[in-house]
Amino acid sequence: MKVLIVGSGGREHALAWKLGQSNSVKELIIAPGNGGTAQEGENVPVQAGDIPGLVALAKERQVDMVVVGPEEPLVLGLANSLANEGVPCFGPDAYAANLEGSKAFSKTLMAEAGVPTAPFAVFDQFEQAAGFVEQQGAPLVVKADGLAAGKGVVVAQTVDEALKALESIMLDRTFGSAGESVVIEAALQGEEASFLAFSDGRRIALLPSSQDHKAIFENDEGPNTGGMGAYSPAPVLPAADYERTSKLTIAPVIRQMDKSGHPYKGILYAGLMYTQQGPQVLEYNVRFGDPECQPLLMRLDADLAEVMLACIEGRLDTVEVKNRPETSICVVMAAKGYPGAYPKGMEIHGVADAEKLDGVKVFHAGTALQDGKVYSTGGRILGVTALGADLAAARDKAYEAVERIHFENNFYRKDIGAKGLGR
């Protein structure tokens, strides 16, 4: 197979690395890719949001499967456009992608499917939303309805904070058209976990639990980021609870989508909060998480290309999705200043030295390869990922690998996996 991967982050490098191990994959094209994917296949400078450009590339290069990394092209209808040209795509159509593209759509579908989630209300008028906030009191969560690059969510501890969030989203249009309407919901308390499953439209194959670390600083302090690290499995969601949790949070959505005439084909990600009432769904994503993808694919003991093709062709029951018993962990190395302004263009040293450690793989996120040297181009730069017999062993190995990598202005959290060890 000739496979086109869409995207440019650490998730896409992990996908390229894993797909490259498949006996059936003979050629990998990544659009636009990064310094790491350039070492796994061929980077082509077509951006992830350029739907006509991606369709043209897939046709011109006669690819056998397109694997979509980020959510934006799915929400923009890349799977639909590829289907019109007869090109198989791993990822849901635009209607199903609304599970991530519209928080109002997602919450409404959860209510219809009986999925446990926080009580909510949807508003497209500022005055009504503000009145609701003042009536309800705090804490509340205010979410821009549309895609906002993971930044359109404010957990407001006071009414004043919630009103300021509404002003920013609905009046100032900080997130553009994503703020045309908002979802306001009760703030849930507890510990988070990520739970992902492959789906062929009717059947599902569960992946192990994982846990992301969104805040920039240790102890979950400071502003949220795209994710500063992740590990799998997450003790808050043990393997004994996978089936029960799936029946509450994954299976009902797959059934609802099938009923709607838009069978969900791809990977479905449930972001869960473990409250005193049990797991509640915070959100759905329609793609692999980043950085959760990295430790999950390190543990996947199956031919990823064959699994993805089985999802597309509606025959997930013909392949086995197995996982290694070890624990895996990913520590993100970022640029100081991220998620705000940060420097770029730092030369990166020591990746090969880090990968000499058994069970370590360094996934590139914000990097570029120039004349055989790797330079930083983004805020999240590397995802240093390790396998170990248990969480403590994997963690020690990942941080040992981190210490072997050097570039100016680097920054990373030193407590990735600490919650899991605490359990």
At 319-354, the pLDDT tens digits run 999 999 999 999 999 999 999 999 999 999 999 999
- Distance of alpha carbon 271 from alpha carbon 364, whole angstroms: 24
End-to-end alpha carbon distance in the chain: 43
pLDDT number for residue 223: 86
Superfamily of domain 191-422: ATP-grasp fold, B domain (3.30.470.20)
Q: Which tokens go with 376?
A: 């930083």
pLDDT number for residue 256: 96
Bridge partners, 411 (sequence order) = 334
Q: Which tokens go with 190?
A: 């507890």
Q: Which of 251, 339, 234 is nearest to 292 (CA)?
A: 234
Q: Which of 197, 364, 381 is nearest to 288 (CA)?
A: 197
Q: Which tokens go with 84?
A: 């019109």
- Is the pLDDT at 371 greater than 80? The verdict is yes
Q: Which tokens go with 287?
A: 């793609």
- Is the pLDDT at 148 greater than 90? The verdict is no
| Tokens 């062993």 -> residue | 393
Percent residues over pLDDT 70 in the chain? 100
Domain with CATH 3.40.50.20 in the chain: 2-94
Phi, psi of 255 (to 5 degrees): -65, -45
- Is the pLDDT at 123 greater than 90? The verdict is yes
Q: Are strands 215-217 and 191-200 parallel, antiparallel or unpaired?
A: unpaired
- Is the pLDDT at 151 greater than 80? The verdict is no
- Is the pLDDT at 149 greater than 80? The verdict is no
- Distance of alpha carbon 145 from alpha carbon 303, whole angstroms: 36
Domain with CATH 3.30.470.20 in the chain: 191-422
**Which amino acid, one-letter code, is at 215?**
A
Q: Mean of the pLDDT values across residues 276-303?
A: 96
pLDDT number for residue 267: 98
pLDDT number for residue 218: 96
Q: Which of 195, 193, 213 is nearest to 204 (CA)?
A: 195
Contact 216, 338 (CB under 8 A): yes
Contact 407, 338 (CB under 8 A): no
> Span 2-94: which CATH code?
3.40.50.20
pLDDT number for residue 62: 98
| 29 three-class SS | strand
- Distance of alpha carbon 193 from alpha carbon 246, whole angstroms: 13
- Is the pLDDT at 275 greater than 80? The verdict is yes
- Is the pLDDT at 224 greater than 90? The verdict is no
Q: Which tokens go with 322?
A: 């197995």
Q: Mean of the pLDDT values across residues 238-244?
A: 97
Q: Mean of the pLDDT values across residues 354-380?
A: 97
Task: Give CB contacts under 8 A, 24+ apart, made by 130-135.
Answer: 130/163, 130/166, 132/184, 133/159, 133/162, 133/163, 133/166, 133/184, 134/159, 134/163
What DSSP state is assigned to residue 161? Answer: H
pLDDT number for residue 423: 85
Q: Which of 172, 190, 192, 188 is nearest to 180 (CA)?
A: 172
Average pLDDT score over the chain: 96
| 230 three-class SS | strand
- Distance of alpha carbon 64 from alpha carbon 57, whole angstroms: 12
Q: Which of 355, 357, 333 is nearest to 346 (CA)?
A: 333
Q: Which tokens go with 206?
A: 């569960």
| 125-180: CATH class | alpha beta
Q: Which of 69, 60, 125 is nearest to 293 (CA)?
A: 69
